[in-house]
Structure 1
Amino acid sequence: MTDIDHIVRKIAADMAQEQDRGRVADYIPGLACVDPNQFGIAVITADGTIHVAGDGDTLFSIQSISKVFALTIALGKVGDALWHRVGREPSGSAFNSIVQLEQEHGIPRNPFINAGAIVVSDVVLSGHRPREAIGEILRFLRQLAHDDTIFIDDDVARGEQDTGFRNAALVNYMRAFGNIHNPVEEVLGVYFHQCAIAMNCRQLAAAGRFLMMHGRDPVTGHSIVPPTRAKRINALMMMCGHYDGSGEFAFRVGMPGKSGVGGGILTVVPGVASIAVWSPGLNERGNSKIGSLALERLAAATGWSVFNSRG
């Protein structure tokens, strides 16, 4: 029987010794001063056992990992109609690129690049005031993690609003094509605040359990999404969850995952485990350098992979 606790603790110890830790996302003021020497990991298995090591209880900005949960809400609101406004293909471009939007008439390639996530924010916002839409996303995460202490870091949100010129360009460009229906300032406000949610690895792994359990909350037994939708969200995470590094992540790790420039990565092994890692230094693709390495080591040690009969 695999000793998950031993594996998790060994990975944390090994990651502490790694010298090349990447570079923090210094273009976001609230992230620029985060210590890159930190590393946390949390693994929650299907039976509810929790394994935490390193800085797994340290809060960090989840950034683009929030896109998974916003997408889940948006699909609950409009269903497959969402795919008329957002594609389902890997981008092959940087997460904040505007080039494809021009070529593809304002339809983002997938919901996990910034442009696609902004359209998702527009869907979540529709029919609400911005504060209500932001509150809905926060409540959903608290519900999934069964933790009411999860909060939005207002300083990070404010810093993103002050410096988010590329995102402002993206939303205005899509508005010109008719793919944004609400005022651009309100859409950006929702997007920036969802990215500024602060969580730790333990909370994030808990929030991802419904995707591990085929759409069901393992604590209450209630359905969060139908199994087919959970499968499709996992498929999008596998194909698009690491921007133009998604293929490399699938090759090395083999788990559906979503990264954020705060250094976090949420991964799911359906029916087996929900996993969160965090280390703030990023590689050249904008994904956690140490976090990606840790997940590669975890997959090798456990055999957890959607491409492995044990996973």
Structure 2
Amino acid sequence: MTSLRDLAELVRAPAALTVPGDTLAGAASAGWPAGARTAALPVASTCLYWAGMALNDWADRQVDAVERPERPIPSGRVPAGTALAVAGTLTAAGVAAAAVGGGRRSAATAAVLAAAVWAYDLSPKQGALSVATMASTRGLDVLLGASAGGLSGLRAAAVPATMVAVHTAGVTALSRGEVHGGSTGVARACVAATALVAAASALRPVPTAGRGRAGGVLGAAVSVALTGTYAVSVLRAQLSAVRSPDAGTVRRATGAGIRGLVPLQSAALAASGHHAAALGLAASAPVGGALMWKVSAT
């Protein structure tokens, strides 16, 4: 019989703690266009993330039977039909939650995001197109937070969306070596992507309107500190993969890249002038990291 723990493993439940920061960063960049209703958007993001994880395991069940037989579907703990039903239900819930959070514009953005998630999971996982599709899902997730503001909101959130998408592209490309090992070239490209994102984050200007010079300086300081946390934690693991791109090292670097999304999102929040919210989000990272030791995020 399928247990809650089996379902949590299917959807990589703890990894969803890296998701709410996407919509929060997007909403902050756009000036919180949905107001208090923004609280529903991280729920929408989480539902769509979990849907993608369940669908990924359903689509890859035959490959996992050979490469990762301990996973919920090939091990028999979760029937394939149940996994597909979970994916469909969570997708519908995600779009509905987006409608609550930001109206028709957010529902439409969530529908595009859901389509990208399903396209990634149901298509071959190799090649540049697959990496770009995965990167687009996280970029769209950031834009979801700003979508209630229309085109002006989307433009305002373009920078953090691009940073998250580039980071995701690097992590996704590196993750291809989790089972059989990767390559030094891919690991180096991933390091370059992370360094580029860190530089863009550190150099992002912080608005001072309504906060005064002191508030702007504090926001900039928090943003740079969180960017440093992101860079150190992610680059250290990725440089290890450059030196030795074996499967175990690549898997650890992939996990570090996933966890690194939280300080990156937090830095984006601080750069939007919301350093208190940024520090609150960053404080969730150790909790997520601890839970990911129990349920794998990859």
Q: Same fold by TM (over 0.5)?
A: no
Which one has the bigger helix percentage?
A: 2
TM-score normalised according to structure 1 size: 0.31
Higher relative contact order (CA 8 A, sep 6+): 1
Structure number having the greater strand percentage? 1
